[in-house]
Chain A
Amino acid sequence: MSKFFYGRLAFSNLKKNSGLYLPYILAAIGTGAMYYIMGAISKDEGIQKMPGSMDIKLILGLGCGVIAIFAVIFLFYTNSFLMKRRKKEFGLFNILGMEKRHIGKMMFWEMLMVAGVSIVCGIVAGILLNKLVVLVLMRLVDLEVPFGFSISVDAIVNMVILFVCIFAVTLVYNLFQVQKAKPIELLQSASQGEKEPKTRWFLAIVGVLCLGAGYGIALFVEDPMSTLLLFFLAVILVMAGTYCLFTAGSIAILKLLRKNKNYYYKTSHFTSVSGMIYRMKQNAVGLSNICILSTMVLVMISGTVSLYMGVEDTMRERYPKEINLTGYGLTQSGKETIHELTKQAVAEQGIKIEDMIEYDSISFSVYKDGETLNLLDGKGGIPKGKMSILEWITMDDYENLGGTHAELSEDEVLVYALHGDTNDEKYRFQDKSFQIKEYLSELSIAGTTSNVVCDAYFVVVKDKAVLQELYEREHAVYQDRASDIQSLVSMDVTGGEEQEIACVKRIWELVESYNQPLPESDQIDLQATSRTKQKESFLVFCGGFLFLGIFLGFVFLMATVLIIYYKQISEGYEDKARFEIMQKVGMSKKEVKASIRSQILKVFFLPLVMACIHLAAAFPMMNRLILLFGMSNAPLFAICTVVTVGVFAVIYLIVYGITARSYYKIVG
């Protein structure tokens, strides 16, 4: 026998089955290219030099891992479609006299060709697309695009190793499948699984409970800190619930419909209900996969898009003014020095201070148990209550910040609750008690707190003496870890962003040289930040996330498309015979077509509808998660989500239309 016999046979097999293999190879090329690009970017030198490159590196590293895991699951899953369709062919070869080892040889050659083409094309596509992706990324994070065209050898090696492993494992699995099967089973395997599914009430109920619990967590858990932990629990519950509901719940519902004689024995329901029962059995897992992937795409893209869109807002809230100076434990003369240095720096840039606010505050965390505020004293473990951060300011500063004056005595306070209780009457702090005179409805500096992880309150007290006393009490317990009284000076300046940044830089320098000759106790402890500078690094962070979101969204979308395609094809072959019979028994072509259409529509849009429901339920929770990144603009988030869903639905529709055509071609 010729040396290349199996090679040629394998080649002609692939050609004959090109309708099945082409999408598989394309998917492998796609995931391969994506993996290469992720790897190449995270090692890209230009990106290493970017501000905030650590964030991006971390995000991209995460993306690499996700794509690798995904590639394994996904290629394995599509392979099972291929095998199901091809078993008959292998059975025929077997019966015609090919031994299993010969078939194995043939399969080896097939896999070798598929792997070779996929990996080589994947690398080429990856290298070509890499530049484009870098351009997109740089655009997103608003940075200069480095020139040149780079090829990352490391990334190529990683990708080749990963995909060779995937294909090798797939081959071994396929060989094992063929090895253990009898030829007659191989011949018949395409027509297996005709039995009507049983109703699994237990599973259906478990599904409802899981989904309910997942939704419950998403809707009713308010505490953002526990949100992060519970989020994963909710995701797992919803995923489990989706699988259970698609597999058991759908069949239970359909069977109930069938029990209703008046509903079931109607021309339009008769074939579709029974057909759906049959279809759901075959497709439940695939459909829940599509549903979960779609949900992931939607969550990821809508979340990252709104995070990105909201950068400007977020920064404005966090830094109400362009230049922000924070001094710790300053004396009066220290404050004056800061004013002077600032004026000097601003003057040097040839710009002016436009609007300045100034206030002192002290903030520390307590465990709030009802109306009692407990400090974590290190003795007797964690005190009872909910972790809360309290920021205290004086009445004078409150008025300067635009608040209306109120007469306060020493043990009276005004409270603004950023999040937390709004119905306490007083706070008990050690042996002191503060009567809450009023809850404020707004506070101009409310957005400046970077904390959204736990409850947060702003408390207005009578005067500086009270602040000082609070500081001393806190200091007595927390000692070194105690926070000082901070003096905040924020201002807008005339001039552009560059002058703003230069100005802040200059303030640093001036403070530095002022401190140089002084003993440590007299030095000024000052932090100066520029909103523009902060925005840049935040943009890198959000842009990185958006990039990852779009990138992974793209990968998942590709998977969804492929799964739909394979479902349509394999269903087509199975439905062909059934529709022929129906026509013989007296169904017109038109009725058959209408019945097919309604079934397919229901089956394929079920995941999309379900994904949208998931998304709606996840919305409040996602909103709180996004709060962790400092964004608190629910309407913007809602708009982004709706637009994302709309775009996704259109893409889904197009994919459905294209694949439905190949289905109709098969059915006849």
Chain B
Amino acid sequence: MAILEVNNVKKVYTTRFGGNQVQALSDVSFSVEKGEYVAIMGESGSGKTTLLNILAALDKATAGQVLLNGKNLSAIREKELSGFRRENLGFVFQDFNLLDTFSLQDNIFLPLVLAGKNYNEMRTRLMPIAEKLAINEILSKYPYEVSGGQKQRAAVARALITNPQLILADEPTGALDSKAAEGLLAMFQSINDEGQTILMVTHSIKAASCAKRVLFIKDGQVFHQIYKGSSSDEEMYQKISDTLTVITTGGGKHE
């Protein structure tokens, strides 16, 4: 069953005075099955972030539609949008986006508090997640007191705690050192193994090679995709870098 369907999405930015039009996405279509782990790769300016913003319902597509669990995102009313995002989507950002005014625990609780859950329920939900992400020792610490890897794990916990349909990760390893990045990717894999659907946008071949499928975006379109199948991370790494070489040297468009 497809959890996410993206059909012919187009996004055109118009400059303020209506003069220039910039086409960020020309025609993007793909779907994500439940339990999949998909990475989207592309160069700067290829439209990755635009796509992610549309998927996150932070931005609206100019044409085409995005269905999450069969529900059209553009049909959701403004008032319900943030509630919908809270319940169905989990976000992991490159720069963590943790609030300095909250302890890690409170940062993780934030979406639940907004949803009006009581403290005991939040606590019971948090415990297994914190255990798995190895942050139960530092829950009472503040974001500025812990390392980047720990911050990102807390952010992952915040994304997981609502049991979302889909986790959207925007360059999650971008601000981490290689060791922390490896740890995080391993964590993503194990979360995915437990059935969590993940969609990750990334630059890093290393990160993408952990995913089960990699989509390549170029000039606002899905240019190519690779399935990992039974190949190892290393083989996947090789495949991805080969593909990127083809793309950057302009090897023509695959039909």
Interface residues of A (CB under 8 A from B): 194-196, 261-262, 265-267, 270, 274-275, 277-278, 578, 581-591
Contacts and interface: CB of A to CB of B under 8 A. Distances in A.
Interface in B14-72: 58
B233 to A, nearest CB: 30
A578 B79 CA distance: 21
B97 interface: yes
A585 B100 CA distance: 14
A195 B103 CA distance: 11
Given A265-B119, A274-B102, A581-B97, A586 B142 contact: no
B224 interface: no
Main secondary structure of the interface of A (DSSP, over half): helix
Contacts of A274: 99, 101-102, 106
A453 B73 CA distance: 79
B86 A265 contact: no
Contact of B122 (A196, A265, A275, A588): A265
A616 to B, nearest CB: 34
Given A262-B119, A266-B113, A585-B158, A196 B101 contact: yes
A182 to B, nearest CB: 20
B111 interface: yes
A588 B99 CA distance: 16
A195 B100 CA distance: 8
B188 interface: no
B83 A581 contact: no
In this complex, the member of B82, B98, B113, B144 whose beta carbon has the largest number of chain A beta carbons within 10 angstroms is B82
Interface string B164-178: 000000000000000
B111 A588 contact: no
A130 to B, nearest CB: 49
B101 A578 contact: yes
A265 B97 CA distance: 20
A588 B79 contact: yes
Contacts of A587: 82, 114
What are the 7 A-B residue pairs with the smallest beta carbon separation, nearest first? A586-B86, A588-B82, A278-B101, A274-B101, A581-B97, A261-B119, A270-B113
Nearest to B84: A586
B91 interface: yes
Given A194-B144, A578-B100, A578-B101, 13 more contacts: A194-B100, A261-B119, A265-B118, A270-B106, A277-B101, A582-B110, A584-B93, A584-B97, A585-B91, A585-B111, A587-B82, A588-B83, A591-B114
Interface in B192-235: none
Nearest to A274: B101
B116 interface: yes
29 contacts: A262-B118, A265-B109, A265-B118, A265-B122, A266-B113, A270-B106, A270-B113, A274-B106, A278-B100, A278-B101, A581-B97, A581-B98, A584-B93, A584-B97, A585-B91, A585-B97, A585-B110, A585-B158, A586-B83, A586-B110, A586-B114, A587-B82, A588-B79, A588-B81, A588-B82, A588-B83, A589-B82, A591-B82, A591-B114
Given A586-B85, A588-B83, A581 B114 contact: no
Contacts of A277: 101
Contacts of A591: 82, 114
Contacts of B85: 586
A456 to B, nearest CB: 60
Tell me whether chain B's interface is mostly helix, strand or loop, or mixed. helix
Interface in B136-156: 142, 144
A191 B97 CA distance: 15
Contacts of B110: 270, 582, 585-586
B152 to A, nearest CB: 14
Contacts of A583: 82
A267 B114 contact: yes
Interface string B100-134: 11100010011101101011001000000000000
Contact of B58 (A581, A582, A584, A590): A584
Contacts of A581: 97-99
Contacts of B81: 588
A20 to B, nearest CB: 25
Contact of A195 (B118, B119, B144): B144
Interface residues of B, number: 28
A587 B86 CA distance: 8
Contacts of A589: 82
Contacts of A588: 79, 81-83
A125 to B, nearest CB: 40
A137 to B, nearest CB: 51
A363 B91 CA distance: 87
A266 B115 CA distance: 9
Q: Which among B93, B99, B122 has the greatest number of chain A C-beta atoms within 10 A?
A: B99
B198 to A, nearest CB: 18
B161 to A, nearest CB: 11
Contacts of B109: 265, 270
Contacts of B106: 270, 274
Nearest to A592: B82
In this complex, the member of A262, A584, A590 whose beta carbon has the largest number of chain B beta carbons within 10 angstroms is A584
Nearest to B113: A270
B11 to A, nearest CB: 19
Interface-central residue, B113, B144, B158, by most chain A CB under 10 Å = B113
Contacts of B142: 195-196
A586 B98 CA distance: 13
A422 to B, nearest CB: 60
A588 B76 CA distance: 13
B104 to A, nearest CB: 12
A82 B97 CA distance: 28
- In the complex, which of the residues A582, A585, A588 has the most CB atoms of chain B within 10 Å of its own CB atom? A585
A60 B122 CA distance: 65
Contacts of B102: 274
A167 to B, nearest CB: 36
A53 to B, nearest CB: 58
A537 to B, nearest CB: 60
A278 B144 CA distance: 14
Nearest to B96: A581
B100 A267 contact: no
Contacts of A585: 86, 91, 97, 110-111, 114, 158
A256 to B, nearest CB: 16
Given A588-B83, A591-B82, A582 B111 contact: no
Contacts of B116: 266-267
Nearest to B102: A274
A28 B84 CA distance: 52
Contacts of B93: 584
B114 to A, nearest CB: 6
A562 to B, nearest CB: 27
B241 to A, nearest CB: 32
A586 B122 CA distance: 16
A586 B82 contact: yes
A584 B158 CA distance: 12
Nearest to B144: A194
Nearest to A590: B79
A195 B110 CA distance: 19
A195 B86 CA distance: 28
A582 B102 CA distance: 12
A262 B91 CA distance: 27
A583 B91 CA distance: 12
Nearest to A261: B119
A585 B83 CA distance: 10
A265 B102 CA distance: 12
A535 B244 CA distance: 96
A602 to B, nearest CB: 15
Contacts of B100: 194, 196, 278, 578
A578 B99 contact: yes
Nearest to B118: A265
Nearest to A579: B99
A467 B181 CA distance: 103
A608 B204 CA distance: 55
A589 B109 CA distance: 19
B97 A586 contact: no
Contacts of B97: 581, 584-585
